[in-house]
């Protein structure tokens, strides 16, 4: 009997504690979660597993490569730009939201207004 393959999510955040809480919440909903601490690490995951990654949860303010740079990078590759991206950031200005959407983000949440369990539920609803 074939085992059901888990849906793979890429979580990108430099806050190790929040990243771990998101992994726990998403795993509890049945997702497999890949982790990256910045946009550069996220691109490395995409280079290896873009066909399998079904959604990206992305912070904006990170070292090495921030979320905006990451969004700009994935817009340039057909295999990457079709993966939906949810931005979860401490940035909350309308300009930041608009910039994220202009770069292809599907949704934007301010971190203080959504906890990991709520995020996991949003992901489940989005991916079915």
Digits of tens for pLDDT over the chain (128 positions)? 344 678 999 999 999 998 999 899 999 989 999 999 999 999 999 999 989 999 999 999 999 999 999 999 999 998 898 999 999 988 878 999 999 999 999 999 988 888 888 888 889 888 87
On whether residue 2 sits in a domain, the answer given is: no
On whether residue 1 sits in a domain, the answer given is: no
On whether residue 3 sits in a domain, the answer given is: no
Residue 1 burial by Cβ neighbours in a 10 Å radius (0-12, 13-18, 19+)? exposed
On whether residue 57 sits in a domain, the answer given is: yes
On whether residue 39 sits in a domain, the answer given is: yes
On whether residue 19 sits in a domain, the answer given is: yes
State the Cα–Cα distance between residues 110 and 91, nearest whole angstrom.
Answer: 7
- Rounded to two decimals, the pTM is 0.90
97 lies in which domain range?
Answer: 8-127
**CATH number of the domain within which 65 lies:** 3.40.50.2300
Number of compact structural domains in the chain: 1
DSSP-assigned letter for residue 62: -
- Structural contact between residues 41 and 69, judged by C-beta atoms closer than 8 angstroms: no
């Amino acid at each position: 009997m074939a085992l059901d393959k888990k849906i793979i999510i890429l979580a990108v955040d430099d806050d190790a504690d929040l990243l771990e809480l998101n992994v726990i919440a998403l795993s509890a909903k049945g997702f497999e979660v890949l982790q990256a601490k910045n946009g550069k690490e996220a691109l490395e995951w995409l280079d290896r597993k873009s066909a399998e990654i079904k959604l990206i949860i992305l912070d904006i303010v990170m070292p090495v490569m921030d979320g905006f740079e990451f969004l700009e990078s994935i817009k340039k590759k057909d295999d990457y730009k079709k993966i939906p991206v949810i931005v979860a950031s401490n940035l909350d200005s309308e300009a930041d939201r608009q910039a994220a959407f202009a770069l292809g983000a599907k949704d934007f949440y301010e971190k203080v207004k959504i906890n990991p369990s709520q995020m996991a539920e949003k992901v489940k609803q989005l991916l079915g």
